[in-house]
Amino acid sequence: MPMPIKTVAGKFQQKWGRYQYYWDTYENISVPMNMHCEIHGDFNLTPIEHYRRNPCPECQIVMWAKEALEKGWVTMSELVQKYNTTENDIIDTFARY
């Protein structure tokens, strides 16, 4: 018996609150389903990995960079260089997370 959509949707909302889901592609928590990020578009993950750990893959890169900066693992100038962007762009992007 698969976990009911309502239960899974509640868990996703609680964990992320920022994505949409194609519930017609949901089978159970361990089969990949289609999901949507308003910034980066569609992506595909199993519900269980999405709930435990993984956001949209593009968002994940931003989240890692933000955390790395906050924890002092990288400097702003290293991020500017690595992503070939500007400090303002990075600040704007991080503000959305």
Q: Residue 33 or 56: which CB sits closer to Zn ion?
A: 56
Tokens representing 29 are 């928590």
Q: Least separation, in Å, of the C-beta of 4 and Zn ion?
A: 26
Exactly one of 39, 61, 76, 91 binds Zn ion (CB under 5 A); that residue is: 39
Q: DSSP readout, 7-58?
A: HHHHHHHHHT-SEEE-GGG---TTS-EEEEETTTEEEEE-HHHHHHT---HH
Exactly one of 27, 42, 49, 58 binds Zn ion (CB under 5 A); that residue is: 58
Q: Residue 58 or 70: which CB sits closer to Zn ion?
A: 58
Q: Residue 56 or 79: which CB sits closer to Zn ion?
A: 56
What is the four-CA torsion angle of 77, 79, 85, 90, rounded to 10 degrees?
-100
Exactly one of 8, 35, 56, 90 binds Zn ion (CB under 5 A); that residue is: 56
Taking the chain, what is the end-to-end CA distance rounded to the nearest angstrom? 35
Residues in touch with Zn ion (CB under 5 A): 37, 39-40, 56, 58-59
